[in-house]
């Protein structure tokens, strides 16, 4: 029986009002987010986090003062642990948040104490981006070395078309369609977190992978005739971001008198961008814009199909000798996406100034 450590990565979120500003500082001091030299990035991160903290604290006040991301991630870890420990191998599942506790350093110490035979790295982002999965994996390798972890490690770099993820999302969308009572056919907005356009232009495969996820869900819907759009939320700063934006699509639906069903396609657990941005801010925008009905589909969270699919992928990594993508495949990104972790050369720095 092998001892296998599974490290799951997520963004993290402040657990109390006082943590909001340091959380934002950690976020904007990441070179994957702001690609300036260290001292300049540190200074800019200080300015941005201080300026944004009051607004962000109001957002988290809507959630009881802190982010629910850690307890939601822990629930997923518990479900995953139950799926994996079937008597064949001894799996330990550990959480490493990128910008707030528990950070990668703590997870690395826990993994070292677990003394695994191998370490499997699983970002809780179905679609790969240098700004999310890439940043988390880079920090992990640094902290794993510092913790003295010598066991070989491999990663599940992405799973945009993973059958369990797709099935769970499609099932939730079908339920929303059945429950919507309106004489006009709804439009489905597949909403994902946005990125500055320059990051994608430098080879980040995130937008392409989001589109693959949506295409897989639409295909899984079968004969349902969907009117759907891929759009992007959470735009901040002066840079041009990928689009169309979710808020612009909501306003368009209002002008056309179309009901909306919003599917968070790049988020797998509930947090501020679903519970506040989608449920409160965008719902109000929909009402103000004249959208006749607004339904938000919940994230896949601990859905049995999703957790089962993720467990299957983890077992595939354990049996493999390389980093894999969804369904035990090699590189899935077309060659133009040089930011793919399986590209033959290292991608250029892709930080984005605020």
186-238 residue pLDDT tens: 999 999 999 999 999 999 999 999 999 999 999 999 877 899 999 999 887 77
Give the CA distances from residue 192 to residues 38, 108, 273, 304, 321, in Å, rounded to whole numbers and listed in that order.
29, 30, 10, 22, 32
pLDDT-based confidence at residue 348 (cuts at 50, 70, 90): very low
Cα distance between residue 222 and residue 214, in whole Å:
13
Q: Are 114 and 5 in contact (CB under 8 A)?
A: yes
Domains and CATH numbers, the chain: 3-159+304-328 (3.40.50.1400), 163-296 (3.40.50.1400)
pLDDT at 344: 65
pLDDT at 336: 87
Which 3 state secondary structure label does DSSP give 2? coil
Provide CB contacts within 8 A for 340, sequence distance 6+. Answer: 128, 157, 203, 205, 331, 333, 347
pLDDT-based confidence at residue 87 (cuts at 50, 70, 90): confident
For residue 168, give the nearest of 48, 283, 64, 308 by alpha carbon: 308
pTM: 0.92
Q: What is the pLDDT of residues 305-329, one digit of tens each?
A: 999 999 999 999 998 877 777 666 7
pLDDT at 327: 61
Which residues share a beta bridge with 296? 262
Which residues share a beta bridge with 260? 187, 294
Q: Are 158 and 325 in contact (CB under 8 A)?
A: yes
Q: Which range, of 4-18, 76-90, 141-155, 332-346, averages the lowest pLDDT?
A: 332-346
**């169309």: which residue's tokens?**
244
Query: What's the rounded mean pLDDT across residues 268-288?
Result: 97
Pull the structure tokens for residue 103: 């950070």
Provide CB contacts within 8 A for 226, sequence distance 6+. Answer: 188, 218
Find out whether 273 is annotated in a ligand binding site: yes
Angle among Cα 60, 66, 69 to the nearest 5 degrees reads: 105
Average pLDDT, the chain: 93
Which residues share a beta bridge with 118? 4
pLDDT at 346: 42
Find out whether 193 is annotated in a ligand binding site: yes
Burial 237-254 (b: 16+ CB within 10 A, else e): eeeebbeebbbebbbbbb
């Amino acid at each position: 029986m092998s001892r296998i450590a599974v490290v799951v990565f997520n963004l993290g979120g402040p657990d109390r009002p006082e943590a909001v500003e340091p959380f934002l500082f950690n976020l904007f001091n990441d070179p994957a987010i702001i690609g300036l030299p260290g001292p300049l990035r540190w200074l800019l991160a200080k300015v941005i986090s201080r300026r944004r903290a009051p607004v962000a604290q109001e957002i988290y006040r809507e959630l009881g003062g802190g982010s629910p991301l850690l307890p939601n991630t822990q629930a997923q870890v518990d479900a995953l642990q139950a799926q994996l420990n079937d008597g064949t191998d001894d799996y330990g599942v550990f959480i490493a948040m990128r910008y707030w506790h528990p950070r990668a350093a703590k997870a690395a110490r826990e993994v070292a104490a677990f003394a695994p035979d191998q370490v499997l790295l699983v970002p809780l982002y179905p679609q790969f981006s240098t700004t999310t999965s890439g940043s988390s994996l880079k920090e992990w390798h640094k902290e794993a070395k510092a913790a003295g972890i010598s066991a070989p490690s491999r990663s599940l770099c992405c799973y945009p078309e993973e059958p369990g993820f797709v099935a769970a999302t499609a099932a939730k969308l079908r339920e929303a369609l059945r429950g919507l009572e309106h004489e006009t056919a709804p439009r489905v907005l597949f909403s994902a977190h946005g990125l500055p356009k320059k990051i994608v232009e430098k080879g980040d495969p995130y937008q392409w992978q989001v589109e693959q996820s949506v295409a897989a869900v639409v295909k899984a819907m079968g004969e349902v005739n969907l009117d759907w759009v891929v759009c992007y939320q959470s735009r901040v700063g002066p840079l041009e971001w990928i689009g169309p934006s979710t808020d612009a699509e909501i306003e368009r639906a209002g002008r056309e008198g179309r009901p909306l069903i919003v599917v968070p396609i790049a988020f797998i657990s509930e947090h501020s961008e679903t519970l506040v941005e989608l449920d409160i801010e965008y719902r109000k925008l929909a009402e103000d814009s004249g959208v006749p009905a607004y339904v938000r589909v919940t994230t896949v969270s601990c859905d049995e199909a999703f957790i089962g699919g993720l467990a299957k992928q983890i077992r595939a990594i354990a049996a493999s000798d390389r980093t894999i993508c969804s369904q035990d495949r090699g590189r899935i990104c077309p060659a133009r996406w040089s930011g793919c972790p399986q590209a033959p050369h290292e991608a250029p720095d892709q930080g984005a100034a605020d």
